[in-house]
Structure 1
């Protein structure tokens, strides 16, 4: 390896970001059309919800609902980002997840709930109760889970396990909860004034901010379990995840519409243990991801691609922060940016290796690994001297990774 850093990898994944170097006009056109369709869908749903909310609650109530509902974002989103620190998901997919939940899922649910209420009214049943208990759990979870499923299918290389499933599901659900809270809080203010707004705020935003994320997390967890087993024979796993999400949602809505004592009983006996289990699952999944990063980065380190100190830094969020601060001190913002990219791409490298070790036959992972092995070396050269020539990485599952001098 020359002192100027390794040469860039050639082939389908060349360049620092690991993007395809041979993007054809047809592929670019397809991506542009798909992006345009998504933006149009979001815009139409946003316009529909804006008109609906302001017409049903008024501008003042809608703004109060918006301000108070934002509390949920300040509680849930930092938790999801904390879980996702070691292998951060792309911002564009996180925004897609949030906007899908906030716009598409909410708009679709409002329409389906109206049909459900009309149907049960024709059966001489209480339309409000039956719609909330029977229609809402099925419709809401179906539309929220559809967003997670789309990420699983169309951004499959960014859906790499349980942590990703929980984070994407959580972002879809918190987007949905955000808009739903605006509607309910604004309506409570119109009906009961400030006391109604405060009471519902405590119930929905302070006592149960993780309710929707916990429901949809069942489906995200199921998809995460089959992230490396994408075969039709495992289709029953996400189906079970969806059914679990619907059941928990049904239980919550039923309790909310029952007596106060019934709600408190369900909250203490069911909701609180579920919340504790949800947090334990998040922590456990994060530790599993950390162990996976350590295992594969240590393997690269044994072949000379990383030093032991770098491996220890890369698997610790605290040490990552210290390393970025150190790089900024020795080389300014350019070195800090290179260190951050070095950390992110090292995590992506471990993910690529994990796919290869699990027998994923998609050739993109081998191309991505080769490109990332070179780009992390180039990143390092910005803030530290290059290492001695690493040895090719040998695996029983793939061909040795060549190292260009």
Structure 2
């Protein structure tokens, strides 16, 4: 059991540590990040419950709508909504890079518990593949979401609402594409590899851009 839990939790911790250590200009309070991670864990339960009810009641019977559109949009909406109401106006969200960390944190909280439940059901044989695909993809969806939250908070008032909407739409579309690829039986591997390479490129580009905005923000605040 201990080995299984370690295998389920380790990918999320490793990915979060990577994004946390990329921030060399400022240190975000660990307690707030931990709370955000816990929020990600907690939203797993209402998401799973809603999915179960919809499936049992036959609200969504078509496989594509159930496995791709419904699950993708609901998971990203819950993460976006919790970040919006608990973190966006938090006093410790005080620079553009913080959005990256909070987005990754809530996404990895969700992905970690989902991974624990999955490995408890299917065993350690799937641990490596899940670390490469679902856990890392959730982290990168969170990075993209957090990037736009960070841009919204520290941009002129005129563009704030548009960026908040992008914080939902961009990761939602990426998640839909990811889940759609997994429905291609037999060919999914040929599609998922280039998509994951693109997702890493896109996510790391957002990390780099957020770091540039952080440096600019600190200059404006006369902190460097």
Please indicate the TM-score interval, normalised by the length of the shorter structure. Answer: 0.7 to 0.9
Matched length: 224
Per the TM alignment, residue 153 of structure 1 is displaced from its structure 2 partner at its CA by 3.9
> For 1:9-57, what per-residue CA distance to the aligned partner results, in whole angstroms no more than 9, with x for missing partners?
xxxxxxxxxxxxxxxxxxxxxxxxxxxxxxxxxxxxxxxxxxxxxxxxx
Rounded Cα–Cα distance in structure 1 between residues aligned with 2:60 and 2:25:
53
RCO higher in 1 or 2 (8 Å CA, sep ≥ 6)?
2
> For 1:246-297, what per-residue CA distance to the aligned partner results, in whole angstroms no more than 9, with x for missing partners?
1111111122232132x22332232211202212321342244235435654
8 Å CA contact 2:54, 2:60 repeated in 1: no
Per the TM alignment, residue 116 of structure 1 is displaced from its structure 2 partner at its CA by 2.5
Per the TM alignment, residue 107 of structure 1 is displaced from its structure 2 partner at its CA by 1.0
Larger relative helix fraction: 2
Q: What residue number does 1:168 align with?
A: 102
Q: What residue number does 1:212 align with?
A: 138
Q: What residue number does 2:84 align with?
A: 149
8 Å CA contact 2:142, 2:171 repeated in 1: yes
Residues 1:274 and 2:209 aligned together: no
Stretches of structure 1 lacking an aligned partner (at least 5 in a row): 1-59, 190-196, 298-349, 352-405
8 Å CA contact 2:115, 2:135 repeated in 1: no
Rounded Cα–Cα distance in structure 1 between residues aligned with 2:158 and 2:81:
17
Equivalent of residue 28 in structure 2, options 84, 89, 108? 89
Rounded Cα–Cα distance in structure 2 between residues aligned with 1:109 and 1:239:
21
8 Å CA contact 1:75, 1:209 repeated in 2: no
Provide the secondary structure at the position in 2 that maps to 1:173: helix
Quickly say closer, same or farther: Cα 1:233–1:293, change in 2 above 3 A: closer
Provide the secondary structure at the position in 2 that maps to 1:159: coil
Quickly say closer, same or farther: Cα 1:160–1:184, change in 2 above 3 A: same
Per the TM alignment, residue 160 of structure 1 is displaced from its structure 2 partner at its CA by 3.0
Single out whichever of 237-246 and 168-177 deviates more from structure 2.
237-246
Rounded Cα–Cα distance in structure 1 between residues aligned with 2:200 and 2:88:
28
Per the TM alignment, residue 225 of structure 1 is displaced from its structure 2 partner at its CA by 1.2
8 Å CA contact 1:148, 1:169 repeated in 2: yes
Q: What residue number does 1:365 align with?
A: none
Q: What residue number does 2:208 align with?
A: 283
Rounded Cα–Cα distance in structure 1 between residues aligned with 2:205 and 2:4:
31
Provide the secondary structure at the position in 2 that maps to 1:235: helix
Quickly say closer, same or farther: Cα 1:231–1:165, change in 2 above 3 A: same
8 Å CA contact 2:137, 2:199 repeated in 1: no
Give the TM-score normalised by structure 1: 0.50
Computing the radius of gyration from Cα coordinates, the structure with the larger value is: 1
8 Å CA contact 1:151, 1:159 repeated in 2: no
| Cα-Cα RMSD | 2.5
Q: How does 1:365-404 map to 2 (within 5 A)?
A: none
Rounded Cα–Cα distance in structure 2 between residues aligned with 1:187 and 1:106:
16
Residues 1:245 and 2:184 aligned together: no
8 Å CA contact 1:215, 1:248 repeated in 2: yes
Per the TM alignment, residue 123 of structure 1 is displaced from its structure 2 partner at its CA by 6.0
> For 1:162-217, what per-residue CA distance to the aligned partner results, in whole angstroms no more than 9, with x for missing partners?
3111110000011111000011111112xxxxxxx32x212111355420022133
